Amino acid sequence: MHTVSTLLGDPDVIPIKHAFILRSHRPGDMGWVTQRHGALYTEEYGLNERMEAYVAEVVAKFLREYDPAREYCWIAELEGNPIGSVFLVKESEEVARLRLLIVEPKARGLGVGRRLVEECVRFARQAGYREITLWTHSILSAARRIYAATGFELVETEEHDEFGPTLIGETWALRL
């Protein structure tokens, strides 16, 4: 079906032959990160506008306090268009936090999410962190599979309704 869709020019299908790149953030990317989290999480999981506000706060803090030696934002790009992103930020001198992993639906299954998480781990080791932590939700099954495959372990769960529906928030950690 993928081949048929590609041959017919389906705009929601990325031909397998195309390779994505990872690059650092630049002006305009943070608006895209915020908008896509708001739109996709509402469409796919029924989350409310507070999710988009949460992402905007994380992005604003990253830009205000950005330390390039200890923090980074990767943008996955295909043919000049963003298809994914992730952040690694300083939590403490020894702990980094992975934040805001997202992959466009049309790019899922291409290894974008896995590659973004692997870059976070590589950078964290290089920056001298001893641990990476992250907060996600049980409904994000694809992301959770990536975290587990990369060596993260689930360390805590909590129920909340901060973004509308009742969710199970999860804290994961990876010792480096």
Q: Sketch out the chain's domains with CATH numbers.
A: 19-129 (3.40.630.30)
pLDDT of residue 1: 41
> In a 10 Å sphere around its CB, with 0-12 CB exposed, 13-18 middle and 19+ buried, how is residue 124 labelled?
buried
pLDDT of residue 5: 44
pLDDT of residue 10: 52
List 131's β-bridge partners, or say none: 95, 175
pLDDT of residue 11: 52
pLDDT of residue 6: 45
pLDDT of residue 4: 41
pTM of the model as a whole? 0.88
Q: Any idea what DSSP says for residue 149?
A: H
Ranges of the chain with pLDDT below 70: 1-18
- Using CA of residue 32, residue 34, residue 37, residue 39, what is the dihedral sign? negative
Kindly state the tokens that stand for 149.
Answer: 């495959």
pLDDT of residue 17: 54
